[in-house]
Amino acid sequence: MRLEQLQAFLAVAETGSFQQAARKCDVTQSTISRQIQALEATVGMPLLHRTAQAKLTVAGDGFLPHARKIWNEWRAAMQEIEELRLGKQPELCIAAIHSVCAFHLPPVLQRFCQEHAEVQLRVTSLGSDRALKVLKDGLVDVAIVMHNRFLTASPEMVVDKLYDEPVRVLMSANHPLTRFNEIPWSELVHYPQVVFKDGYGMQRLVQEQFQRQGADLKAVLELNTLDAFRGVVRQGELIALLPQGAIQDVHLDPTLAVRSTLDPTLIRQVVLVTTQDRLLIPPIQRFRELVAEILTVPEIPSLPTKALAEL
């Protein structure tokens, strides 16, 4: 069954005439006849009486409401796709890692809202692995995450590198490790750590680095919010390896200290991920452009070496 056959049947049912149906569909009368005949061959019964006025048979009368429903569903589907093509998208859903949501994304969101007031923005803070999963499941349109090549290898995925950032050591201001300007990994392995929960790329990155060092990661607590990390770390012995973007304002808190690691320095790559088909939708394409244009990574203010030694 073809859509033009349904259209011809509905036109004849509405006008009661093959001739008028042809004018309504902007085709010849013989085309209308062929389409009706093909439709009747498909359903296996005559749908119209060929009299001076075309009337529905019993089968045609029963088929009519179904034909109307199919035709209306098709038109609604085509209208929805056309609205997407024209950029009339009711909402844009974004999943992003915590540091991006907290520090980097707000100016992008503000600009997007100014340009697309008709689009409802929905932003969810998630770990990288979880964000990529909900993107693949179609629950969000864009993910801004720590790069995971295993989860973005599909051909339909579009990956834009945004920035690289080093991983730093967060600790209390009076922690023994503050005596180092750059902390050797041989020293880090002796202290218990607070880590991100499973499903966060940072947990995997830290674990892999400890494995390369041939050491065990003493993870004693799992958290998933930046405020929780700070609250726990400032209490005493626990330390946390966190990306620079997550602790860029720590210098404002006198109870906390930040140090770099002595070679090697861990680097986290942050990327924007979406899919090829979503980039055909103008608001999503524009959001991607705004991220590339506006999103910047502020540097953490550094203290003089002397001041670091005195902390």
Q: Name the CATH superfamily, with its identifier, for domain 91-162+269-294.
A: Periplasmic binding protein-like II (3.40.190.10)
Q: Are 108 and 292 in contact (CB under 8 A)?
A: no
Distance CA 229, CA 238 (A): 10
**93, 121, 123, 131, 279 from 90: Cα distances, Å:** 10, 9, 14, 21, 16
Distance CA 12, CA 17 (A): 5
- Amino acid 137: pLDDT: 93
Q: Which residues pair with 219 in a beta bridge?
A: 193
- Taking phi over 0 as left and psi of -120 to 50 as alpha, with beta for the rest, 138 belongs to left
Distance CA 267, CA 260 (A): 11
Mean pLDDT by 10 residues, the chain (311 residues): 85 87 88 88 87 84 89 79 67 92 91 92 92 93 92 92 93 94 91 88 88 88 89 91 88 92 88 93 93 73 36 27
Q: Contacts from 174-180 at CB under 8 Å and sequence distance 24+? A: 175/236, 175/237, 175/239, 175/257, 177/239, 177/259, 178/257, 178/259, 178/308, 178/311, 179/309, 180/259, 180/262
Supply the CATH classification number for the domain 3-85.
1.10.10.10
Distance CA 77, CA 74 (A): 5
165-268+303-310 and 91-162+269-294 share a CATH fold: yes
Give the number of other CB atoms < 10 A from CB of residue 133: 17
pTM of the model: 0.70
Amino acid found at 306: K
- Amino acid 50: pLDDT: 81
Supply the CATH classification number for the domain 165-268+303-310.
3.40.190.290
- Amino acid 83: pLDDT: 66
- Nearest alpha-carbon partner for 201 in 151, 146, 154, 264: 146
Containing 161, the helix (H) or strand (E) segment is strand 157-172
Structural domain boundaries of the chain?
Answer: 3-85, 91-162+269-294, 165-268+303-310
- Angle of helix 201-212 versus helix 128-136 axis, rounded to 10: 130
